[in-house]
């Protein structure tokens, strides 16, 4: 399965949304820059063609993302075909992601604050959804809002569209974890541990305290946390603290020492060792990079 990482350089605008039913679905689509459609196939599987070559088939109850990067033809041979679609226009940059990339992205935030908001969307694969899912209900909400008093190009429809992309991103991550065949409880316990760490970032965090809050033994939690995230709990805690430090330095313009105090680190030598060990950079390198970005953006 493949995915696309979508970096949003602008707020996406909903240019159309509809529910469509037909007994003859055979429609060509031209390449349109910065245009993408998110559709849910309600009934009648769809075959995607490039010229006369079949690229892939999308079954009923699946999500399809059309990035309009090339001319395509959508064909359904079913007696009746129906789908719901939200069309968006915006400035975005795409980059391919594998299942491993998706998991790596979800397991640990990057060491530096991302410059743009991003979504993970399925690409040429089969994301099957139930009619009762939140994603399906969001399609209806967008259609309803988009045809209401405010209509197209409203902030509300754009916000709902971004929520739709966020929910699809979560589903991409969830399906990648499912493919690893991990027990659902392991994922739940790990997510609770990550939430605890985020809520207590300004304090000294002990594994025993996290395990107590989650409700399982520290040994069992340590084992499943490493399996799910690919990091030990100590590694994860330190990386999250370092990320927060770099964010504070960048957003508030404060020193590394001042930022470190916000996450419970008061020893400058220890802080320097953490940066070298986990990020392979020095504290001064962070400031130099920030100054360089500021000069480039002037």
Residues 9 and 147 occupy one common structural domain: yes
Residues 157 and 283 occupy one common structural domain: no
Residues 157 and 201 occupy one common structural domain: no
Q: What is the average pLDDT score of the chain?
A: 86
Residues 175 and 32 occupy one common structural domain: yes
Residues 222 and 266 occupy one common structural domain: no
154, 179, 204 — which closes off a domain? 179
Residues 258 and 111 occupy one common structural domain: no
Q: What does the block give as tokens for 136?
A: 């399906």
Mean pLDDT of 17-42: 93
Residues 189 and 271 occupy one common structural domain: no
Residues 174 and 246 occupy one common structural domain: no
Q: Which band of pLDDT confidence, cut at 50, 70 and 90, is reported for residue 289? A: low
Residues 219 and 74 occupy one common structural domain: no
The residues, ordered by sequence, that sit 6+ positions from 153 with a Cβ below 8 Å of its Cβ are: 13, 14, 15
What is the pLDDT, as a whole number, of residue 296?
53
Residues 251 and 158 occupy one common structural domain: no
Tell me how far apart the alpha carbons of residues 49 and 28 are, in angstroms, rounded to a whole number.
9
pTM (predicted TM-score): 0.68
Residues 169 and 191 occupy one common structural domain: no
Mean pLDDT of 57-77: 92
Tell me how far apart the alpha carbons of residues 142 and 156 are, in angstroms, rounded to a whole number.
9
Assess whether pLDDT exceeds 70 at residue 122. yes
What is the number of domains present in the chain?
3
Q: What does the block give as tokens for 203?
A: 């304090």
Mean pLDDT of 1-9: 86
What is the pLDDT, as a whole number, of residue 184?
80
What is the pLDDT, as a whole number, of residue 113?
43
Q: Which band of pLDDT confidence, cut at 50, 70 and 90, is reported for residue 112? A: very low
Task: Specify the CATH number for the domain of residue 44.
Answer: 2.60.120.10
pLDDT in tens, 147-163: 754 555 688 899 999 99
Q: 256 is in which domain, residue-wise?
A: 235-296
Residues 144 and 81 occupy one common structural domain: yes
Query: Is 139 buried (19+), middle (13-18) or exposed (0-12) by CB count in 10 A?
Result: buried
């Amino acid at each position: 399965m493949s995915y696309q990482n979508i970096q949003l350089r602008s707020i996406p605008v909903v240019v159309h949304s509809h529910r469509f039913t037909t007994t003859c679905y055979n429609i060509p689509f031209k390449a349109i820059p910065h245009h993408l459609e998110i559709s849910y196939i309600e009934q009648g599987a769809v075959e995607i063609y490039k010229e006369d070559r079949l690229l892939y088939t999308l079954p009923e109850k699946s999500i399809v993302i059309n990035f309009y990067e090339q001319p395509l033809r959508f064909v359904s041979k079913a007696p009746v075909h129906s789908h719901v679609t939200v069309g968006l226009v915006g400035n975005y940059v795409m980059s391919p992601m594998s299942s491993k990339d998706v998991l790596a992205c979800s397991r640990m935030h990057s060491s530096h604050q991302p410059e743009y908001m991003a979504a993970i969307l399925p690409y040429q694969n089969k994301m099957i959804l139930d009619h009762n899912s939140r994603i399906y209900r969001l399609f209806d909400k967008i259609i309803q809002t988009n045809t209401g008093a405010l209509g197209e190009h409203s902030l509300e429809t754009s916000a709902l569209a971004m929520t739709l992309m966020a929910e699809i991103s979560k589903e991409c991550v969830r399906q990648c974890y499912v493919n690893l065949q991990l027990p659902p409880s392991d994922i739940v316990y790990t997510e609770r541990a990550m939430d605890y760490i985020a809520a207590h970032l300004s304090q000294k965090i002990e594994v025993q305290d996290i395990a107590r809050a989650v409700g399982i033994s520290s040994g069992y939690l340590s084992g499943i946390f490493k399996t799910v995230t690919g990091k030990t709990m100590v590694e994860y805690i330190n990386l999250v603290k370092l990320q927060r430090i770099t964010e504070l330095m960048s957003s508030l313009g404060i020193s590394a020492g001042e930022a470190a105090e916000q996450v419970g680190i008061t020893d400058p030598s220890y802080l320097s060792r953490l940066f070298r060990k986990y990020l392979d950079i020095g504290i001064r390198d962070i400031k130099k990079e920030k100054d360089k970005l500021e000069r480039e953006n002037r």
